[in-house]
Each structure stands twice: as C-alpha cells, then as structure tokens.
Amino acid sequence: MSLRSPLDLRLYLVTDAPERCRYGLLETVKRAVQGGVTVVQYRREHADHETMLQEARPLREYLRSVGIPFIVNNEVELARELDADGVHVGQGDMPAAEVRRRVGEKMRIGLSVSNESEMRAVDPAVVDYVGCGPVFSTATKPDAAPAVGVEGWAALSALSPLPLVAIGGINVERARAIRAAGRCDGVAVVSAICAAEDPADAAEQLLSTQI
C-alpha cells in the first residue's frame, strides 16, 4: 500500500527563473496560489546548489503554510534537503527507480514522457504521476522533445497508467483544447502564469478550462 496520497494536479505551476517572474519568484507564486494553483514545481536551470537553496527555501515554507504541494525539478538532493513533497525528473535525468531508492516511499515522483515507448515503460510502483508533452513548442525549455500536438497528446494520455498533466506552450485556449481532446488530470504552465500581468487572474482563467 502506497504511503503517498494523490496530488491535485488540476493546475500545476512550474516556476521560471526569478528574473522572468513578473513579481519575483515568491510573490508571483503567492499570487498564483491566490488564483487557485494546486501544485508548484521549483525549476531552476544553470544555478548552483546554494543559490537554489536560498531561492527555494522561502518558497517551500510559504507553500507548506498554505497546504500546496511543493515539487523540485530534477535536483534530488535539494528535494531531500528541503523535505519537498515530490521530485520531478526527465528521461535524461536520474532514473526514477534510483530516485525512489534515494527519497524513500513518502515523496512523490513525477516523470516526463514524450512518446509511446517512454509511456509504456512507466512503472506505477515507482512513479506517482506523469508530465506528458511538450504538447506545443515552448521557449522555456529549449532542450525539450519535439511537440506532439493535441492529437498526439491525447493518444499518449490514453496509454498512461497514472494521473497525468499536459505540459508545453499551454495557454487558456490551448488548455481548453487539450482538456476536450481526452483524459486530462491537469495542465502545467510556466510563462502563462509567471509572465502574466495578473498571475492570480491567469490561474483562475486556466482553471476555468476544466470540462
């Protein structure tokens, strides 16, 4: 029996670099949470461990105070040090089975999937949810796999043995199309909230796309 309760994946915020968050990292996340974000993933590329720790610790403390799950992208040791609720890894990162060995049974693990073979290889005994995409091309992750499109995403999502979120270039209009195309437990966004003039309103609009 799993020790991990399911995540509410309806609106999954992946943070951008602080300088690309309209109100800075923490304040942008606070406003997004006010708008209804249900999960926050801290993602930071090209930064050292101490920088990430200084940025992520207040984020972790705030999210814990309001009961929103805090996920760390890729950095397993950072996730452990911060007692994160989860860690998310890609296909080129540490294998999910090794992540599970390091973090134990209580921490959630998310895995990025972009094609059928990767989806069929997902082990539900190890992984808790899947990030599926990119559905559309995105400037926030230049090394992402080719975009699969709405139809490709729908085909992949039908194969998922786990809850899944769509990710990659998603805005309100695209979120609505994705949700209408098939099974969708949630959408993950970066700039649609982080760069928004009003992150709370942006989150509310994205949540309104639920079928």
Catalytic (active-site) positions: 43, 112, 141
Number of Cβ within 10 Å of residue 132's Cβ equals 30
Residues 6+ apart with CB under 8 A from 199: 22, 23, 28, 31, 32, 35, 193
Taking the C-alpha atoms of residue 6 and residue 43, their distance in angstroms, rounded to an integer, is: 21
Whether 209 and 199 have beta carbons less than 8 Å apart is answered as no
The amino acid at 130: V
Cα–Cα distance measured from residue 194 to residue 186, given in angstroms and rounded to the nearest whole number? 17
| CB 36 within 8 Å of CB 211 | no
Angle at 186 between CA 121 and CA 122, to 5 degrees: 5
